[in-house]
Amino acid sequence: MLTLATQSPGEPEIFASVQGEGPSAGMPVAFLRLSRCNLACVWCDTAYTWHFTGDERPHRSGETHDRRANQVALPVAEVAGLIAEHGQKRLVVTGGEPLLQAGALAELLELLPDITVEIETNGTTRAPPRLDIRIDQYNVSPKLSHSGNPPELALISERLHAYAGDPRAWFKFVVAGPEDVAEAAALVRAHAIPPARVFLMPEGTDSATLRSRERWLVPLCLEHGFRMSDRLHIHLFGDTRGT
């Protein structure tokens, strides 16, 4: 079984769109959004995947979500069939933290052998060999101090070093201010992450906020040799599920 997020109560969040972020931005893909996360970012825009009623970890919205309305468990074969219906050659598995369900995810990808797979991960864990061999691209998004996560949970040196040495791994740092860029640059140096595989992405869930932050972010990308990632889906569809 896989535990998925929902687009509406009972409807799993599996859909086709263009990738909105990172190195594959603009590519047509199928998306699979899984539920549950081991971190708790205060600005998370998919808090419905983890911030359920009774969870006292902080989130800036102050809102919690009913688990039964926002989570659905489905057999792996059924999930594979729903993904295949979208007819896409590339799959983005996101969350939540997808690698928390590594065993079932490996089983899923064995049923989809001809699809190119991206995994979006916070970089705190690793894929076991059975899953790792099915992954074409890791989109690693280490969580900086402004996320509200303790660094001992969010920034695990062993894992960051391992991803830095994996040519499939791209790094995407979410930033809200220039101080976040300085923190990201220090992590890049400390863990020998190739700058050419680093993206800086403004935090924001509306076009005005993204554009405002991108204006000061551009010169910092030039300074450090990092790439900038927009959030195309926000401009196209707003902050909505299934996009």
* Contact (CB, 8 A) for 7 and 242: yes
Mean pLDDT across 92-102: 98
Mean pLDDT computed over every residue of the chain? 97
Residues in the chain: 243
Q: Is residue 64 part of a domain?
A: yes
What pLDDT score does 10 carry? 87
CATH of the domain at 11: 3.20.20.70
Domain count, the chain: 1
Helix (H) / strand (E) containing 222: helix 207-224
Q: What is the pLDDT of residues 20-51, one digit of tens each?
A: 999 999 999 999 999 999 999 999 999 999 99
Q: Is residue 66 part of a domain?
A: yes
Q: What is the pLDDT of residues 134-176, one digit of tens each?
A: 999 999 999 999 999 999 999 999 999 999 999 999 999 999 9
Tokens for 149, please give them: 């996560």
Tokens for 48, please give them: 């419905």
Q: Is residue 209 part of a domain?
A: no
pLDDT band at 210 (very low <50, low <70, confident <90, very high): very high
DSSP 8-state symbol, 98: G
* Residue range(s) defining the domain that contains residue 18: 2-174
Calculate the alpha carbon distances from 111 to 11, 60, 64, 91, 201 in Å.
21, 39, 34, 13, 33
Q: Count the Cβ atoms, other than its own, within 10 Å of residue 222.
A: 10
CA distance 129 to 112: 17
